[in-house]
Amino acid sequence: MMRLTGIGASEGVAIGKVLIFHQEELEFPKEKFLSSETAESEIIKLEEAMKKSKTQLISIREKVRAKLGDDKADIFDGHILLLEDEDLMDEITAKIKEDGLKAPYALKEGIDGYCEMLSQLDDPYLRERVADFQDIGTRWLKNLLNIKIKDLSNLEPNTIIVTNDLTPSDTAQLDLENCKGFVTEVGGKTAHSAIMARSLEIPAVVGTKSIITTVKDGEDIIIDGDEGEIYLSPTPELVKEFEVKRLEQINAIEELRKLKDLKPITKDGHEVEIWGNIGKPEDVEAVIESGATGIGLYRTEFLFMNSDHMPTEEEQYRAYRAVVEKMNNNPVTIRTMDIGGDKELPYLDLPKELNPFLGYRAIRISLVNKEMFKTQLRAILRASAYGTVKIMYPMISSIKEVRLANQILEECKAELDAIGKRFDRNIKVGIMIETPSSAIIAYKFAKEVDFFSIGTNDLTQYFLAVDRGNEMVSDLYSAFNPAVLEAIQKAIDAAHNQGISISMCGEFAGNKDAAELLLGMGLDAFSMSASSVLKVKNKILECNYTDAQKYRDLILSKDTTEEVIESLR
């Protein structure tokens, strides 16, 4: 047995078998040109690999159909058509017959050439197919080179994924029935893979350095997402012990469910709001089930990331409206897309950057791509006719950005008016407070908008200059740092002085150990993943507001993160 430690990123215990997930290097034969092999035998191998790829794509298509419906499944028909393109096949076989290339080299050249050709077409739809075709081409090559393709959407029962990193798009296609947890080598508590794990309610441990070279595929493993611990090849006694712990956790959750319909009010009568964070319409059920009375953050970028093309106004409108209708007049805060940082969008063809978190991200992309932004704003506005919608801009760092975004929003309203589409004329508009500049002059921003929401995930990384996803500096990353706490207090006071409301939708809001402090600081609303809602509500119900304010004064007088955490205990 072996014990490893990482960072607990999503609570709970999971017991299962290891699946190592990493993109294997494509290993080509040493010789590039045909020698003993004949062109005919190479072409047969090429065709067989193509047929195998087609069978795999059909099987994925049918699984997607069962899980996500016809719309998503039909995308794979397009992929199969690309794979079967006769011109492409002719080109590749010519490279074998005429140039004497071995099949893998001919195929690689064929794929690269095809991608190049697609990327130069005028038709934006076809241009956007480049990323798809790269995917399909890699599958075909892997099959030709006999490299096993690991598919996250189709797992064995009780799988625990061990990987260097799980990107948000990997997480999005996870086979949730069979994936019981995951372990990564890199990342921190507020990296997006960790946030996704929490919203999916699967245990996860991140930042477990060099685990891939330590584990074997199929090895028994226990992960403890509360403690950030991993046990490889555990003894039967330990398995029993964790089985008990797992059941206790399930019972504790059952117990908390009794609080579902209670309002989050302190013993001395101070009421706050508890809302849920979502990434896609399907997440709403868990939020409603938790008893949360609104959506404090809808991360719309996942709609963009889970699509193979830029979602149209109609597609976005349908997704937003579904959420709004399900929430039944409770507030739904729709954040405009926050691509960039650790969230990529292949079809937008963003350049690689040295400092993506300080670069072309979120509102900065939206303001440059005005038509794309307007498409999203019109879709949100149209959905606002069906309930209580609020619009929120991410990563705001200057007043100029807010004014520009609002000006574009007004253009969208006028366009909808002109074609007679309904929307909420009193729609509230707010910003994320997640950059130091917005926190420091929050009192100026407060005059420009209707509400604030504090994004502690980014606020912490930008205030402390500590990458939120870098396990090497994860011990420096804490929203309990006195500088971050003071920034939060500043934002709350600025909002209240101006008479606007302020919520928090960063992960700190769902940290039950921070609840009394945030309550004392005067936070109006706490927004978090559904799995944290009842734990935080439980805390609020136990608190006294006047005590929490005294406690806030004590905590804010501390000089170091360690002293703050010590006082919390």
Contact residues toward ligand PEP (CB under 6 A) are 195, 297, 299, 338, 434, 455-458, 505-506
Q: Which residues, in sequence order, are bridge partners of residue 454?
A: 433, 504
Q: Which residues contact 7 (CB under 8 A, 6 or more apart)?
A: 187, 188, 189, 205, 206, 207, 208, 228, 471, 474
Residue type at 54 in one-letter notation: K
CA distances, 302 to each of 167, 179, 345 (Å): 12, 20, 10
123 CB burial (10 A radius; 0-12, 13-18, 19+): exposed
Residue type at 374 in one-letter notation: K
Q: How many CA atoms lie within 13 A of 133 on its CB side?
A: 24
Residue type at 349 in one-letter notation: D
Binding partner of residue 505 among Mg ion, ligand PEP, none, CB cut-off 5 to 8 Å per kind: ligand PEP
Alpha carbon 528 to chain centroid, angstroms: 14
Give the range of 112-120, 156-164, 352-360, 447-455 binding Mg ion by CB under 5 A.
Answer: 447-455
Map tokens 């740092």 to a residue. 481
Could you tell me the smallest distance in angstroms from the CB atom of residue 491 to ligand PEP?
A: 12
d(CA 232, CA 4): 8
Write out the DSSP string of 95-129.
HHHTT-B-HHHHHHHHHHHHHHHHHT-S-HHHHTH
Measured in residues, the chain has a length of 569
Q: Which is nearer to ligand PEP, 198 or 382 (CB)?
A: 198
Q: Which is nearer to Mg ion, 456 or 481 (CB)?
A: 456
Q: Which is nearer to ligand PEP, 228 or 506 (CB)?
A: 506
Q: Which residues contact 404 (CB under 8 A, 6 or more apart)?
A: 367
Which secondary-structure segment (H or E) carries 157? none
Whether 270 is catalytic is no
Could you tell me the smallest distance in angstroms from the CB atom of residue 509 to ligand PEP?
A: 9
d(CA 127, CA 125): 5
Q: Which is nearer to ligand PEP, 185 or 507 (CB)?
A: 507
3-state secondary structure 251-302: HHHHHHHHHCCCCCECCCCCECEEEEEECCHHHHHHHHHHCCCCEEEEECHH
Could you tell me the smallest distance in angstroms from the CB atom of residue 338 to ligand PEP?
A: 5
Nearest Cα to Cα of residue 427 among 370, 386, 367: 386
By rule CB under 5 A, what count of residues binds Mg ion? 3
Q: Which residues, in sequence order, are bridge partners of residue 33?
A: 101
Could you tell me the smallest distance in angstroms from the CB atom of residue 171 to ligand PEP?
A: 13
Could you tell me the smallest distance in angstroms from the CB atom of residue 527 to Mg ion?
A: 13
Could you tell me the smallest distance in angstroms from the CB atom of residue 362 to Mg ion?
A: 8
* Interacting residue with Mg ion among 8, 225, 455, 469 (CB under 5 A): 455
Task: Kindly state whether residue 507 participates in binding Mg ion, applying the rule CB under 5 A.
Answer: no
d(CA 297, CA 374): 20
Q: Which is nearer to Mg ion, 181 or 455 (CB)?
A: 455
CA distances, 202 to each of 156, 234, 283, 475 (Å): 16, 20, 14, 23
Whether 179 is catalytic is no
Could you tell me the smallest distance in angstroms from the CB atom of residue 295 to ligand PEP?
A: 13
Which string of x and - marks every residue 407-436 that binds Mg ion (by CB under 5 A)? ---------------------------x--
Q: Which of 79, 179, 192, 543 is catalytic?
A: 192
Task: Kindly state whether residue 458 participates in binding Mg ion, applying the rule CB under 5 A.
Answer: yes
Q: Which is nearer to ligand PEP, 64 or 479 (CB)?
A: 479
d(CA 179, CA 200): 11
Three-state DSSP state, 188: coil
Q: Which is nearer to ligand PEP, 347 or 508 (CB)?
A: 508
Q: Which of 79, 179, 412, 505 is catalytic?
A: 505
Could you tell me the smallest distance in angstroms from the CB atom of residue 260 to ligand PEP?
A: 24
Q: Which residues, in sequence order, are bridge partners of residue 501?
A: 451
Could you tell me the smallest distance in angstroms from the CB atom of residue 457 to ligand PEP?
A: 3
Phi/psi of residue 306, nearest 5 degrees: -90, 10
Alpha carbon 355 to chain centroid, angstroms: 19
Q: Which is nearer to ligand PEP, 76 or 275 (CB)?
A: 275
Let me know: does 58 contact 5? Beta carbons within 8 Å.
Answer: no
Query: How is residue 29 written in tokens?
Result: 């034969």
Count of other CB atoms within 10 angstroms of residue 275: 28
Could you tell me the smallest distance in angstroms from the CB atom of residue 409 to ligand PEP?
A: 20
Q: Which is nearer to ligand PEP, 20 or 274 (CB)?
A: 274
Please work out, in degrees rounded to the nearest 5, the angle formed at the alpha carbon of residue 167 by the alpha carbons of 533 and 131. Answer: 135
Q: Which is nearer to ligand PEP, 350 or 385 (CB)?
A: 350
Let me know: does 520 contact 552? Beta carbons within 8 Å.
Answer: yes
Binding partner of residue 506 among Mg ion, ligand PEP, none, CB cut-off 5 to 8 Å per kind: ligand PEP
Q: Which residues bind Mg ion (CB under 5 A)?
A: 434, 455, 458
Q: What are the catalytic residues?
A: 192, 505
